[in-house]
A and B are shown apart, each in its own frame.
Chain A
Amino acid sequence: MAGRESETCFDHDLYKLFPVHAPRPEGEVEELDRIWKAPTGWGLLKGINNNYIGFFHLSTAFLFFLLAGILALGMRVQLAAPLQDFLPQETYNQFFTMHGTMMMFLFAVPAVEAAGMLLLPQMLGARELPFPRMAAYGFWMFLIGGLSFFTSIFFSLAPSGGWFMYPPLTSIAFSPEINTDFYLLGIGFIEISAIAGAVEIIVGVLRSRAPGMTLDRMPIFAWAMLVFGVMIILAFPAIIAATSLLELERAFNWPFFDPTRGGDPLLWQHLFWFFGHPEVYIIFIPAAGMMSMMVATIARVPLVGYRLNVVALVATGFISFGVWAHHMFATGMPRVSTGYFSAASMAVSLPAGIQVFCWIATLASGKIRWSAPALFVTGSIVTFTIGGLTGVMLGMVPFDWQAHDTHFVVAHLHYVLIGGMVMPLFGAFYYWAGMTSKNALSDRLGRWVFALFFSGVHITFLPMHLTGFLGMPRRVYTYLPGRDLDLVNLISTIGAFVIAAGVALFLFDLARNFRFTAAESAGNVYDAGTLEWLPAGLYSSRSLPLVKSRNPLWDDPDLAEDTQEGRYFLPNSATGLRETIITSPVNAEPQYLQIIPGPSPFPAAAAFLTAAFFLSLTVQAYGFAVFCGVIAVGCMLRWMWDSDPPVEQKTADIGGGIMVPIAITGPKSHGWWGLNVLMVVMGMIGVMMLFSYLYLFGIHPDVWIAAPPLEQTLGILALFGATTALAWLSRRMLAWRKPGIPAGQLPWITAALAATCSALAVYWDWSGWSGAGLDPVASGQGATVFAAVGYQGCLTAISALLAGYLGFRSGRGLISPPASVTLDTVARFIGYVGVQGAVLAFVIRLLPGG
Chain B
Amino acid sequence: MQDFRNHHDFRTLSAAFAIWAAHFTLLWAASITFPGEPAARWLALAFTVIALAALAWLYLRAGKPKLGSVAGLGLAIATVGTLYDSVPPLIG
- Annotate A285-310 by CB proximity to B: 1 below 8 A, 0 otherwise: 00000000000000000000001101
Please state if B92 and A347 are interface contacts (CB–CB under 8 Å). Answer: no
- What is the predominant secondary structure among interface residues of chain A facing chain B? helix
Interface centre among B4, B6, B13, B20 (most CB of A within 10 A): B4
Given contacts A12-B4, A307-B69, contact A315 B74 (CB under 8 A): yes
Please state if A698 and B32 are interface contacts (CB–CB under 8 Å). Answer: yes
Smallest CB-CB separation from B77: which chain A residue? Answer: A315
- Give the residue of A12, A335, A548 whose beta carbon is less than 8 angstroms from that of B92: A335
**Which listed segment binds B: A317-325, A415-423, A559-567, A794-802?**
A317-325
Chain B 44-92 residues near chain A, CB threshold 8 A: 44, 68-70, 73-74, 77-78, 80-81, 84-85, 87-89, 91-92
Please state if B87 and A318 are interface contacts (CB–CB under 8 Å). Answer: no
Please state if B32 and A339 are interface contacts (CB–CB under 8 Å). Answer: no
Chain B nearest Cβ from A505, distance in angstroms: 41
Q: Does A15 contact B (CB under 8 A)?
A: yes
User: What is the CA–CA distance of A548 and B2 in the complex, to the nearest angstrom?
Assistant: 7
Q: Does A144 contact B (CB under 8 A)?
A: no
Please state if A336 and B80 are interface contacts (CB–CB under 8 Å). Answer: no
- Give the residue of A13, A318, A338, A586 whose beta carbon is less than 8 angstroms from that of B20: A318
Q: Does A351 contact B (CB under 8 A)?
A: yes
User: What is the CA–CA distance of A203 and B80 in the complex, to the nearest angstrom?
Assistant: 32
Smallest CB-CB separation from A230: which chain B residue? Answer: B14
Please state if A336 and B77 are interface contacts (CB–CB under 8 Å). Answer: no
Please state if B88 and A340 are interface contacts (CB–CB under 8 Å). Answer: yes
Q: Does A30 contact B (CB under 8 A)?
A: no
Given contacts A314-B13, A343-B87, A344-B85, contact A586 B92 (CB under 8 A): no
**Which listed segment binds B: A58-66, A209-217, A518-526, A777-785?**
A209-217
- What is the predominant secondary structure among interface residues of chain B facing chain A? helix
Please state if A350 and B77 are interface contacts (CB–CB under 8 Å). Answer: yes
Given contacts A308-B73, A314-B74, A340-B28, contact A321 B87 (CB under 8 A): no
Given contacts A311-B73, A339-B87, contact A334 B81 (CB under 8 A): no
User: What is the CA–CA distance of A569 and B17 in the complex, to the nearest angstrom?
Assistant: 37
Classify chain A: how many residues form its interface, as a range.
Answer: 35 or more
Given contacts A307-B70, A315-B74, contact A334 B31 (CB under 8 A): yes
Please state if B6 and A340 are interface contacts (CB–CB under 8 Å). Answer: no
Q: Does A436 contact B (CB under 8 A)?
A: no
Chain B nearest Cβ from A321, distance in angstroms: 7
Q: Inside 8 A of A339's CB, which chain B residues have their CB? A: 87-89, 91
- Give the residue of B4, B35, B91 whose beta carbon is less than 8 angstroms from that of A587: B4
Given contacts A314-B14, A339-B88, A344-B85, contact A216 B21 (CB under 8 A): no
Please state if A340 and B27 are interface contacts (CB–CB under 8 Å). Answer: yes
Smallest CB-CB separation from A699: which chain B residue? Answer: B32
Please state if A322 and B88 are interface contacts (CB–CB under 8 Å). Answer: no
Q: Does A6 contact B (CB under 8 A)?
A: yes
User: What is the CA–CA distance of A344 and B81 in the complex, to the nearest angstrom?
Assistant: 7
User: What is the CA–CA distance of A307 and B72 in the complex, to the nearest angstrom?
Assistant: 11
Please state if A311 and B74 are interface contacts (CB–CB under 8 Å). Answer: yes
Please state if B8 and A334 are interface contacts (CB–CB under 8 Å). Answer: no
Besides A214-B4, A311-B74, A322-B24, 7 other A-B contacts (C-beta < 8 A)? A12-B5, A215-B10, A216-B7, A319-B17, A335-B36, A337-B28, A340-B27
Interface residues of chain A, those whose CB is within 8 Å of chain B, are: 1, 5-7, 12-13, 15-16, 212, 214-216, 307-308, 310-311, 314-315, 318-319, 321-322, 333-340, 342-344, 346-347, 350-351, 548, 586-587, 589, 698
